[in-house]
Structure 1
Amino acid sequence: MPIGLALPQYGAFADPALTARVAAEAEAAGYDHLWTGDRILVPNDPQNHYPGGDGTVPDGFRTFLDPLTLLTVAAGATRRARLGTSTLNALWQPPALLARTLTTVDRVSGGRLDVGIGLGWSKDEYQAVGVPWEGKAARLEETLDVLEALWAGGEDVRHTGALWTVPPSTVLALPVQRPRPPVLLGGFSAAALERVGRRADGWLGVGLPVPALHGIRDRLHGAARAAGRDPRALRLILRANPVITATPVPAEQVPRRGTIGQIADYFADAMRQLGAEPLLDLHHTARSADEFLALALEFRAALAG
């Protein structure tokens, strides 16, 4: 089962040279997927709470590098590992421009891009880029429509929708992956899970208890069957941002906290029961670049064992 690592990107790890180093060494250690996330800014007086912990935005988010630029850096440092976004807030830019950028990353990487898309949680970030907070679901649906039209390419590309119009056009710069790069979607609402089953290649999840993930998997599969699609083709990417401890913690704290062994056991269980693909993020626990890489390599070895 593929195993993923979130690349150094923010806080003390916002260093493209470190991103390249970790990408290369993680690939050599056997990681199959390398991922970046998406933040623009941290408001001083936020309109809504961060959806994690006590609702306070992590300090590291104050220094956050662009996800697609860093995937381009990682593409140059690797040869095999797939490169993905978990997640890209796709609504922050016009879909025609986004399609061009994603096409370029896919071509630079030789066809290794996974496009993971979410809607975000910060009203302030939407305000900063001039995109309405309301109507996000409809905007996402049409964004996906525009991406698919432009990725199909040809001499008669067009789209007419409520938000965007692409006049009859020629688009010949296409992704390596045909008919398009895999699209993965996040979200927990009934509508979000239905959208994954209806039109995505997989779901970007987080480290919930495995029994809860069974219920989500069943809803995804039901939505896929209702759309006439094969539910077995849906991927389940499971992300955890643990605090690594030196000694074991109570089971109910895993995967939010725990030893490398406990986190590896959690993921192994999710892999065995659900076919989930682990994604480990070490930004909240590593204190230095060397520790970031050492923990990544220790985790990969533990999961392999």
Structure 2
Amino acid sequence: MRIGFSVPQFGPFADPHRTAGMCTALEALGCDSLWVADRLLSPLTPPEGYAGGKPMPVRYGTHLDPLLTLGLAASATERVRLGSSTLNALWQPPLVLARALTTLDLISRGRLDVGIGLGWMREEYTATGVPWRGRGARLEETLDVLEAVWRSATVAHAGPLWTISESTVLPNPVQKPRPPILLGGFTPFALERVGRRADGWLAASMPVPFFNGLWAVAVEAAERAGRDPAGLRRVFRVNADVTAAEAAPEETHHRGTVRQICDHLRTMCGEETDEVLVDLQLTTDSPDRFLDLAAEFVAELTGNSP
């Protein structure tokens, strides 16, 4: 099992200088990866589809740009993989996105994991002028453009949404043939796309029966596409709500003591390449407490806890 943490970037953690220092400290704990998230705005009225109509956490209204924050994390670390979980890929043209991601792969010396998805908030699409309808097809063509840019020095693309005349687009990323692409999503359509064309799935800690049903869709899609499902990575994100007292068993996929949450994560990680992503930004406002909790998670997941 590999261990990752969120890059501090929301609410009280939206301080670039503090974020850089915390990334250095998280790497020193021995984790394997650091991940940024992507939030563009936080509506004052509960957005459709969020937590049963509940208001969003106030801290989501204060945020650092995910790509610039990845650059900050790259400069503050030397070893850990750096990824996005999940970058909303459709808010900029794919050629522009490819250039930014290539630059990040170069800055990090080949440590970038490209985690992208569709997002879920209609208000963010409206604010960026991107149509909500047709976003699945838009993502498919975005992936086509990324592949074209990253696999060759000469790029040409003609699609329904974008046309790129035959051009030189350099430099290429450090990683060959391209940085790994992981896709988010929790619908059969999303999991089919993971199996058909991604390197892995940006999943979440969830009840195991629900996970098994979703993962079966990706496995079947990979097999139909002539791909080996065993080669697909899985990154299980948990927005941890750490409690002092034990939580109810049905809550431990996201809430409970450090040991309870880790026990559930261990039930989900069946392969050596599986990875957990622990986001601690909703459970504390304190940088010191954030790092102390991160150390507890590392100790528990590596078997080095007292």
Spell out structure 1 runs of 4+ moving beyond 6 A: none
2:276 is aligned with 1:278 = yes
Q: Residues 184 and 158 (structure 1 numbering): CA distance in 2 closer, same or farther, change over 3 Å? A: same
Decide which of 186, 190, 193 is 2:191's aligned counterpart. Answer: 193
2:288 is aligned with 1:290 = yes
Q: Secondary structure of 1:283's partner?
A: coil
Question: CA offset at residue 132 of structure 1?
Answer: 0.5
Q: Tell me, in whole angstroms, the C-alpha distance in 1 between the residues paired with 2:54 and 2:159.
A: 36
Q: Tell me, in whole angstroms, the C-alpha distance in 2 between the residues paired with 1:135 and 1:274.
A: 36
Question: CA offset at residue 33 of structure 1?
Answer: 0.9
Q: Tell me, in whole angstroms, the C-alpha distance in 2 between the residues paired with 1:133 and 1:41.
A: 16
* Cross-structure match for 1:36: 36
Structure 2: any 5+ residue segments left out of the alignment? none
Would the aligned equivalents of 2:46 and 2:54 in 1 still touch at CA under 8 Å?
A: no
Q: Tell me, in whole angstroms, the C-alpha distance in 2 between the residues paired with 1:106 and 1:246.
A: 39
Q: Residues 134 and 126 (structure 1 numbering): CA distance in 2 closer, same or farther, change over 3 Å? A: same
* Cross-structure match for 1:99: 98
Q: Please list, as runs of the form range in 1=range in 2, the aligned pairs for 1:1-305 lying within 5 A after superposition.
A: 1-45=1-45, 48-50=48-50, 52=51, 54-154=53-153, 156-272=154-270, 276-305=274-303
Q: Tell me, in whole angstroms, the C-alpha distance in 1 between the residues paired with 2:2 and 2:273.
A: 10
Would the aligned equivalents of 1:85 and 1:114 in 2 still touch at CA under 8 Å?
A: yes
**1:163 is matched by which residue type in structure 2?**
L
Q: Secondary structure of 2:267's partner?
A: helix
Question: CA offset at residue 292 of structure 1?
Answer: 0.8
**1:186 is matched by which residue type in structure 2?**
G
Q: Secondary structure of 2:178's partner?
A: coil
With 20-29 and 67-76 compared, the bigger mean Cα shift is at 20-29
Question: CA offset at residue 271 of structure 1?
Answer: 1.7
Q: Secondary structure of 2:288's partner?
A: helix
Question: CA offset at residue 214 of structure 1?
Answer: 2.0
**1:91 is matched by which residue type in structure 2?**
L
TM-score by length of structure 2 reads 0.95
Q: Tell me, in whole angstroms, the C-alpha distance in 2 between the residues paired with 1:191 and 1:216.
A: 10
**1:12 is matched by which residue type in structure 2?**
P
Q: Secondary structure of 1:110's partner?
A: coil
Q: Tell me, in whole angstroms, the C-alpha distance in 2 between the residues paired with 1:124 and 1:219.
A: 29
Q: Tell me, in whole angstroms, the C-alpha distance in 2 between the residues paired with 1:244 and 1:44.
A: 26
Structure 1: any 5+ residue segments left out of the alignment? none
Q: Tell me, in whole angstroms, the C-alpha distance in 1 between the residues paired with 2:71 and 2:273.
A: 28
Q: Secondary structure of 1:49's partner?
A: coil
**1:198 is matched by which residue type in structure 2?**
R
Would the aligned equivalents of 1:157 and 1:170 in 2 still touch at CA under 8 Å?
A: yes
Q: What is the aligned residue count?
A: 303
Q: Tell me, in whole angstroms, the C-alpha distance in 1 between the residues paired with 2:104 and 2:52.
A: 33
With 22-31 and 100-109 compared, the bigger mean Cα shift is at 22-31
1:7-30: per-residue Cα shift (whole Å, max 9, x none)?
Answer: 101011111122212211111111
Q: Secondary structure of 2:42's partner?
A: coil
Would the aligned equivalents of 2:2 and 2:273 in 1 still touch at CA under 8 Å?
A: no
Would the aligned equivalents of 2:81 and 2:111 in 1 still touch at CA under 8 Å?
A: yes
Would the aligned equivalents of 1:264 and 1:302 in 2 still touch at CA under 8 Å?
A: yes
**1:221 is matched by which residue type in structure 2?**
V
Question: CA offset at residue 216 of structure 1?
Answer: 2.0
Q: Tell me, in whole angstroms, the C-alpha distance in 1 between the residues paired with 2:40 and 2:54.
A: 18
Q: Secondary structure of 1:3's partner?
A: strand
Would the aligned equivalents of 1:116 and 1:183 in 2 still touch at CA under 8 Å?
A: yes
With 37-46 and 158-167 compared, the bigger mean Cα shift is at 37-46
With 287-296 and 137-146 compared, the bigger mean Cα shift is at 287-296
1:222-268: per-residue Cα shift (whole Å, max 9, x none)?
Answer: 11000000100001110001211111111111122100111111112
Say what the alpha-carbon RMSD is for the aligned residues. 1.5
Question: CA offset at residue 47 of structure 1?
Answer: 5.3
Question: CA offset at residue 103 of structure 1?
Answer: 0.1
Q: Tell me, in whole angstroms, the C-alpha distance in 2 between the residues paired with 1:58 and 1:118.
A: 21
